[in-house]
Amino acid sequence: MEEGEGEGLQTLAIVLLLCGALKLLHTLGLISTEDRVCDDLELSVVCHRPEALDLLEAQSNFNRKELQVLYRGFKNECPSGVVNEETFKQIYSQFFPHGDASTYAHYLFNAFDSSQSGSIKFEDFITALSILLRGTTTEKLQWTFNLYDINKDGYINKEEMTDIVKAIYDMMGRFTYPALKTDTTKQHVDAFFQKMDKNRDGVVTLDEFILSCQEDENIMRSLQLFENVI
Protein backbone atom coordinates (compact mmCIF):
# COMPACT_ATOMS: atom_id res chain seq x y z
CA MET A 1 0.00 0.00 0.00
CA GLU A 2 1.39 3.36 -0.97
CA GLU A 3 1.86 6.13 1.48
CA GLY A 4 -0.69 8.11 -0.44
CA GLU A 5 -3.25 5.43 0.13
CA GLY A 6 -2.58 5.70 3.81
CA GLU A 7 -3.17 9.38 3.75
CA GLY A 8 -6.30 8.92 1.74
CA LEU A 9 -7.58 6.40 4.23
CA GLN A 10 -6.83 8.80 7.02
CA THR A 11 -8.83 11.49 5.30
CA LEU A 12 -11.71 9.12 4.86
CA ALA A 13 -11.56 8.08 8.47
CA ILE A 14 -11.64 11.65 9.70
CA VAL A 15 -14.57 12.54 7.49
CA LEU A 16 -16.53 9.52 8.65
CA LEU A 17 -15.76 10.30 12.26
CA LEU A 18 -17.04 13.83 11.89
CA CYS A 19 -20.25 12.68 10.27
CA GLY A 20 -20.76 10.14 12.99
CA ALA A 21 -20.21 12.72 15.70
CA LEU A 22 -22.72 15.09 14.12
CA LYS A 23 -25.27 12.33 13.84
CA LEU A 24 -24.74 11.41 17.47
CA LEU A 25 -25.23 14.95 18.62
CA HIS A 26 -28.30 15.22 16.50
CA THR A 27 -29.83 12.08 17.96
CA LEU A 28 -29.02 13.33 21.43
CA GLY A 29 -30.97 16.40 20.56
CA LEU A 30 -28.16 18.83 21.21
CA ILE A 31 -28.38 20.13 17.71
CA SER A 32 -31.67 20.37 15.99
CA THR A 33 -32.18 21.11 12.35
CA GLU A 34 -35.86 21.81 12.41
CA ASP A 35 -37.43 24.58 14.34
CA ARG A 36 -39.09 23.41 17.46
CA VAL A 37 -41.61 26.15 17.26
CA CYS A 38 -44.48 23.92 16.40
CA ASP A 39 -43.89 21.85 19.49
CA ASP A 40 -44.76 24.61 21.85
CA LEU A 41 -48.49 24.64 21.66
CA GLU A 42 -50.44 26.83 23.91
CA LEU A 43 -52.13 24.06 25.78
CA SER A 44 -53.86 26.10 28.36
CA VAL A 45 -56.28 28.73 27.25
CA VAL A 46 -57.46 30.35 30.38
CA CYS A 47 -60.90 31.77 30.21
CA HIS A 48 -62.41 33.53 33.11
CA ARG A 49 -65.92 34.81 33.42
CA PRO A 50 -66.67 37.57 35.85
CA GLU A 51 -69.30 37.35 38.49
CA ALA A 52 -72.81 38.39 37.79
CA LEU A 53 -73.46 42.00 37.02
CA ASP A 54 -75.69 42.43 40.07
CA LEU A 55 -73.00 41.17 42.38
CA LEU A 56 -70.39 43.48 40.90
CA GLU A 57 -72.77 46.37 41.08
CA ALA A 58 -73.26 45.72 44.74
CA GLN A 59 -69.57 45.32 45.43
CA SER A 60 -68.37 48.37 43.59
CA ASN A 61 -69.37 51.98 43.34
CA PHE A 62 -70.28 51.78 39.67
CA ASN A 63 -73.73 51.53 38.22
CA ARG A 64 -74.82 48.96 35.68
CA LYS A 65 -74.17 51.03 32.60
CA GLU A 66 -70.66 51.92 33.66
CA LEU A 67 -69.88 48.32 34.44
CA GLN A 68 -71.18 47.30 31.04
CA VAL A 69 -69.02 49.82 29.24
CA LEU A 70 -65.99 48.87 31.30
CA TYR A 71 -66.46 45.20 30.70
CA ARG A 72 -66.91 45.61 26.98
CA GLY A 73 -63.64 47.47 26.74
CA PHE A 74 -61.91 44.94 28.97
CA LYS A 75 -63.23 41.97 27.03
CA ASN A 76 -62.29 43.52 23.73
CA GLU A 77 -58.71 43.81 24.78
CA CYS A 78 -58.50 40.54 26.72
CA PRO A 79 -60.92 38.01 25.31
CA SER A 80 -59.73 35.41 27.74
CA GLY A 81 -60.94 37.44 30.64
CA VAL A 82 -57.64 37.81 32.45
CA VAL A 83 -54.66 40.04 32.04
CA ASN A 84 -51.26 38.65 32.80
CA GLU A 85 -48.33 40.77 33.73
CA GLU A 86 -46.73 40.81 30.30
CA THR A 87 -49.85 42.06 28.57
CA PHE A 88 -50.38 44.56 31.35
CA LYS A 89 -46.89 45.93 30.93
CA GLN A 90 -47.34 46.18 27.19
CA ILE A 91 -50.62 48.02 27.48
CA TYR A 92 -49.31 50.40 30.08
CA SER A 93 -46.11 51.05 28.15
CA GLN A 94 -48.10 52.22 25.17
CA PHE A 95 -49.21 55.24 27.10
CA PHE A 96 -45.65 56.22 27.95
CA PRO A 97 -43.60 55.84 24.82
CA HIS A 98 -40.77 58.08 25.93
CA GLY A 99 -39.43 55.96 28.71
CA ASP A 100 -39.60 52.56 30.22
CA ALA A 101 -42.87 51.99 32.00
CA SER A 102 -42.35 48.32 32.76
CA THR A 103 -41.09 48.69 36.32
CA TYR A 104 -43.92 50.94 37.38
CA ALA A 105 -46.35 48.69 35.53
CA HIS A 106 -45.01 45.81 37.58
CA TYR A 107 -45.76 47.58 40.84
CA LEU A 108 -49.10 48.66 39.52
CA PHE A 109 -49.87 45.10 38.56
CA ASN A 110 -49.11 43.91 42.05
CA ALA A 111 -51.32 46.60 43.47
CA PHE A 112 -54.19 45.62 41.19
CA ASP A 113 -53.73 41.94 41.73
CA SER A 114 -54.94 41.94 45.30
CA SER A 115 -55.12 38.19 45.50
CA GLN A 116 -51.57 37.87 44.18
CA SER A 117 -52.70 35.30 41.68
CA GLY A 118 -50.45 36.52 38.88
CA SER A 119 -53.25 37.73 36.68
CA ILE A 120 -55.81 40.46 36.89
CA LYS A 121 -59.41 39.41 36.49
CA PHE A 122 -62.21 41.74 35.79
CA GLU A 123 -63.23 41.78 39.45
CA ASP A 124 -59.78 42.98 40.50
CA PHE A 125 -59.94 45.59 37.81
CA ILE A 126 -63.31 46.83 39.01
CA THR A 127 -62.33 46.78 42.68
CA ALA A 128 -59.32 48.95 42.07
CA LEU A 129 -61.10 51.33 39.72
CA SER A 130 -63.97 51.61 42.14
CA ILE A 131 -61.60 52.78 44.82
CA LEU A 132 -59.62 55.06 42.58
CA LEU A 133 -62.51 56.75 40.89
CA ARG A 134 -65.36 56.52 43.31
CA GLY A 135 -63.76 55.90 46.65
CA THR A 136 -63.27 58.20 49.60
CA THR A 137 -59.96 59.97 49.99
CA THR A 138 -59.01 57.65 52.78
CA GLU A 139 -59.61 54.64 50.56
CA LYS A 140 -57.59 56.20 47.76
CA LEU A 141 -54.73 56.94 50.10
CA GLN A 142 -54.90 53.42 51.42
CA TRP A 143 -54.67 52.09 47.91
CA THR A 144 -51.71 54.31 47.18
CA PHE A 145 -50.01 53.20 50.35
CA ASN A 146 -50.55 49.63 49.27
CA LEU A 147 -48.96 50.47 45.94
CA TYR A 148 -45.88 51.96 47.53
CA ASP A 149 -45.53 49.18 50.06
CA ILE A 150 -43.89 46.72 47.73
CA ASN A 151 -43.45 43.89 50.16
CA LYS A 152 -46.81 44.52 51.79
CA ASP A 153 -45.46 44.59 55.29
CA GLY A 154 -47.37 47.69 56.34
CA TYR A 155 -44.38 50.02 56.24
CA ILE A 156 -42.81 52.04 53.50
CA ASN A 157 -39.09 52.23 53.93
CA LYS A 158 -36.59 54.22 51.95
CA GLU A 159 -35.65 51.39 49.61
CA GLU A 160 -39.22 50.77 48.57
CA MET A 161 -39.81 54.45 48.04
CA THR A 162 -36.61 54.77 46.04
CA ASP A 163 -37.73 51.91 43.82
CA ILE A 164 -41.10 53.51 43.24
CA VAL A 165 -39.69 56.95 42.50
CA LYS A 166 -37.08 55.47 40.23
CA ALA A 167 -39.78 53.60 38.35
CA ILE A 168 -41.70 56.83 37.90
CA TYR A 169 -38.63 58.63 36.63
CA ASP A 170 -37.96 55.76 34.27
CA MET A 171 -41.22 56.52 32.57
CA MET A 172 -39.92 59.95 31.71
CA GLY A 173 -37.22 58.51 29.54
CA ARG A 174 -33.81 59.91 28.85
CA PHE A 175 -34.63 63.19 27.23
CA THR A 176 -36.00 65.46 29.88
CA TYR A 177 -35.63 69.05 30.74
CA PRO A 178 -33.88 69.71 33.04
CA ALA A 179 -31.67 66.70 32.52
CA LEU A 180 -31.91 64.00 35.14
CA LYS A 181 -29.03 63.97 37.53
CA THR A 182 -27.82 61.01 39.52
CA ASP A 183 -29.24 62.21 42.80
CA THR A 184 -32.57 63.44 41.49
CA THR A 185 -34.29 60.32 42.73
CA LYS A 186 -32.60 60.48 46.09
CA GLN A 187 -33.56 64.10 46.55
CA HIS A 188 -37.12 63.32 45.68
CA VAL A 189 -37.28 60.43 48.13
CA ASP A 190 -35.72 62.53 50.86
CA ALA A 191 -38.27 65.25 50.26
CA PHE A 192 -41.02 62.68 50.47
CA PHE A 193 -39.77 61.26 53.73
CA GLN A 194 -39.29 64.74 55.09
CA LYS A 195 -42.95 65.37 54.56
CA MET A 196 -44.41 62.00 55.44
CA ASP A 197 -42.28 60.54 58.20
CA LYS A 198 -43.61 62.28 61.24
CA ASN A 199 -41.76 60.48 63.95
CA ARG A 200 -38.54 60.27 61.95
CA ASP A 201 -38.16 56.57 62.41
CA GLY A 202 -37.16 55.94 58.83
CA VAL A 203 -40.39 54.23 57.80
CA VAL A 204 -43.80 55.57 56.92
CA THR A 205 -46.82 53.82 58.34
CA LEU A 206 -50.33 53.99 56.94
CA ASP A 207 -51.51 56.47 59.56
CA GLU A 208 -48.55 58.78 59.06
CA PHE A 209 -49.13 58.61 55.36
CA ILE A 210 -52.81 59.40 55.52
CA LEU A 211 -52.26 62.18 58.04
CA SER A 212 -49.50 63.83 56.04
CA CYS A 213 -51.45 63.66 52.82
CA GLN A 214 -54.51 65.15 54.42
CA GLU A 215 -52.43 68.07 55.51
CA ASP A 216 -51.28 68.77 51.99
CA GLU A 217 -53.73 70.82 49.95
CA ASN A 218 -52.19 69.90 46.63
CA ILE A 219 -52.44 66.19 47.20
CA MET A 220 -56.02 66.41 48.39
CA ARG A 221 -56.98 68.40 45.35
CA SER A 222 -55.18 66.18 42.92
CA LEU A 223 -56.85 63.09 44.32
CA GLN A 224 -60.14 64.47 43.02
CA LEU A 225 -58.66 64.98 39.60
CA PHE A 226 -59.82 61.86 37.91
CA GLU A 227 -63.32 61.68 39.25
CA ASN A 228 -65.06 61.79 35.93
CA VAL A 229 -62.77 59.52 33.98
CA ILE A 230 -65.49 57.02 33.29
Partner 1 sequence: MAAGVAAWLPFARAAAIGWMPVASTPMPPPPREKRRGQDGLIILNVSGSRFQTWRNTLERYPDTLLGSTERDFFFHEESNEYFFDRDPDIFRHILNFYRTGKLHYPRHECISAYDEELAFFGIIPEIIGDCCYEEYKDRRRENTERIQDDEENENSKDMVPPDMSFRETMWRAFENPHTSTMALVFYYVTGFFIAVSVMANVVETVPCRSEQNRAKEVSCGERYSVAFFCLDTACVMIFTVEYLLRLIAAPSRYKFVKSVMSIIDVVAIMPYYIGLVMSDNEDVSGAFVTLRVFRVFRIFKFSRHSAGLRILGYTLKSCASELGFLLFSLTMAIIIFATVMFYAEKGSTSSKFTSIPAAFWYTIVTMTTLGYGDMVPKTIMGKIFGSICSLSGVLVIALPVPVIVSNFSRIYHQSQRAEKRRAQKASKQAGQALVCKTNPTFETQHHHLLHCLEKTTNHEFVDEQTYETSCMEVSLAKASMSRSSSMSSSPHGLSSCCTRRNKRKSFNVPNSNMVAGRRGSIQELSTIQIRERPVNNSRSSLNAKFEETVPLNSEEQSYITAAVISMPTPPVTTPESGALGNCPDFLQSNIVRVSAL
Residues that bind partner 1 (CB under 8 A): 2-9, 11-12, 15, 69, 72-74, 76-77, 91-92, 94-98, 108, 111, 125, 128-129, 132-133, 140-141, 143-144, 147-148, 164-165, 168-169, 171-180, 184, 188, 191-192, 196, 209, 213, 218-219, 221-223, 225-226, 228-230
Instruction: Assess contact for 208 and 197: CB atoms under 8 A.
Output: yes
Q: Which is nearer to partner 1, 25 or 191 (CB)?
A: 191
Centroid of chain to Cα 207: 27
Q: Which residues are 205's β-sheet partners?
A: 155
To partner 1, the closest distance from the beta carbon of 42 in angstroms equals 19
To partner 1, the closest distance from the beta carbon of 29 in angstroms equals 27
Q: Which is nearer to partner 1, 13 or 25 (CB)?
A: 13
Q: Which is nearer to partner 1, 38 or 95 (CB)?
A: 95
To partner 1, the closest distance from the beta carbon of 5 in angstroms equals 6
Residue 178 preceded by cis peptide, ω within 30 = yes
Instruction: Assess contact for 192 and 99: CB atoms under 8 A.
Output: no
Q: Which is nearer to partner 1, 36 or 221 (CB)?
A: 221
Instruction: Assess contact for 167 and 103: CB atoms under 8 A.
Output: yes
Q: Which residues are 119's β-sheet partners?
A: 84
Measure Cα distances from 21 to 18, 54, 205 in Å: 5, 67, 65
To partner 1, the closest distance from the beta carbon of 226 in angstroms equals 5
To partner 1, the closest distance from the beta carbon of 220 in angstroms equals 9
Report the C-alpha gap between 191 and 185 in whole angstroms: 10
To partner 1, the closest distance from the beta carbon of 28 in angstroms equals 26
Q: Which is nearer to partner 1, 34 or 95 (CB)?
A: 95
Q: Is residue 88 packed enough to be buried (19+ CB in 10 Å), middle (13-18) or exposed (0-12)?
A: buried
Q: Which is nearer to partner 1, 114 or 180 (CB)?
A: 180
Report the C-alpha gap between 72 and 53 in whole angstroms: 13
Please report, as a single letter, which amino acid is at residue 58: A
